[in-house]
Amino acid sequence: MTEDPLDFGDPADLERLRTAFRAWLAEHPLPERLPDEPLPVFLHRWHRLLHSGGWVGLDVPEVYGGRGLTSLHQVAVSDELGARGAPGVPRVGYLAHALLEFASEDQRRRLLPRMLAGDDVWCQGFSEPGAGSDLAGMSTYAARHDDGHYTVRGQKLWTSYAQYSDRCLLLARTDRTARPHASVTAFALPLDRPGVTVRPLRAANGDDEFCELFLDDVRLEESERIGAEGDGWALAMTTVSYERNALDTGHLSKYGLLVERLRRTAHERRGELPDGLLSEIGRCVVDYEVLLAHARRRIAERLAGQPAGPESSVDKLLMTRAEQRLYATALKVFPQEVHGPGGDVFAQYLYSRAASVYGGTSQIQRNIIAQRVLRLTDGADR
Ligand X SMILES: Cc1cc2nc3c(=O)[nH]c(=O)nc-3n(C[C@H](O)[C@H](O)[C@H](O)COP(=O)(O)OP(=O)(O)OC[C@H]3O[C@@H](n4cnc5c(N)ncnc54)[C@H](O)[C@@H]3O)c2cc1C
Positions marked catalytic: 243
Instruction: Give the residue closest to ligand X by C-beta.
Output: 132
Integer Cα distance of 321 and 355 in angstroms: 9
Integer Cα distance of 112 and 98 in angstroms: 11
Closest approach of ligand X to the CB of residue 13, in Å? 34
The site for ligand X (CB under 6 A) is made up of 123-127, 132-133, 158-160, 354, 357-358, 360-361, 363-364, 367
Integer Cα distance of 34 and 234 in angstroms: 40
The residues near 224 (Cβ < 8 Å, ≥ 6 apart) are: 187, 188, 189, 190
Q: Please say which residue, 141 or 334, places its beta carbon nearer to ligand X.
A: 141
Q: Please say which residue, 331 or 354, places its beta carbon nearer to ligand X.
A: 354
Closest approach of ligand X to the CB of residue 183, in Å? 18
Measured CA to CA in angstroms, residue 238 lies from 231, 241, 337 at distances of 11, 5, 40
Kind plus residue range of the DSSP H or E element containing 295: helix 275-303
Q: Please say which residue, 282 or 343, places its beta carbon nearer to ligand X.
A: 343
Integer Cα distance of 350 and 328 in angstroms: 9
User: How many angstroms from the chain centroid is the CA of residue 97?
Assistant: 11
Closest approach of ligand X to the CB of residue 36, in Å? 22
Q: Please say which residue, 56 or 213, places its beta carbon nearer to ligand X.
A: 213
Closest approach of ligand X to the CB of residue 267, in Å? 35
Phi, psi torsion values for 120, nearest 5 degrees: -115, 125
The residues near 306 (Cβ < 8 Å, ≥ 6 apart) are: none
